Amino acid sequence: MPNPFSEYATIHFELNKATNLMINVYNSNGKRVTTLINTFKQEGMHQMFWNTSQIAPGIYFIEFLSGQASRESVTVVKF
């Protein structure tokens, strides 16, 4: 189920272990819009804010890539 947002999106995630993490955002055509982070993160709960004022309303996919080639994704909708 998509997660709606407008000007800002708050992204919460938990890491089971410390790892390199890249978070990418793609539009509905599969084009990467931005890379939110590409850095080493410690184990535990994390929160980040994404200023979406520069992107058009629509459906976006947030991809989480960890150092172990693990991949998770979330669908979000900007209105």
- Cβ-in-10-Å burial (0-12, 13-18, 19+) of 25 comes to buried
Asked which of 25-29, 34-38, 74-78 is least confident by mean pLDDT, the reply is 74-78
Q: Residues 17-33: pLDDT tens digits?
A: 999 999 999 999 999 99
Average pLDDT over residues 48-68: 87
> What residue numbers bound the domain in which 10 lies?
3-78
What is the tally of structural domains in the chain? 1
CATH number for the domain spanning 62: value is 2.60.40.2550
Are 9 and 41 spatial neighbours (Cβ–Cβ below 8 Å)?
Answer: no
Mean pLDDT (the chain, rounded): 86
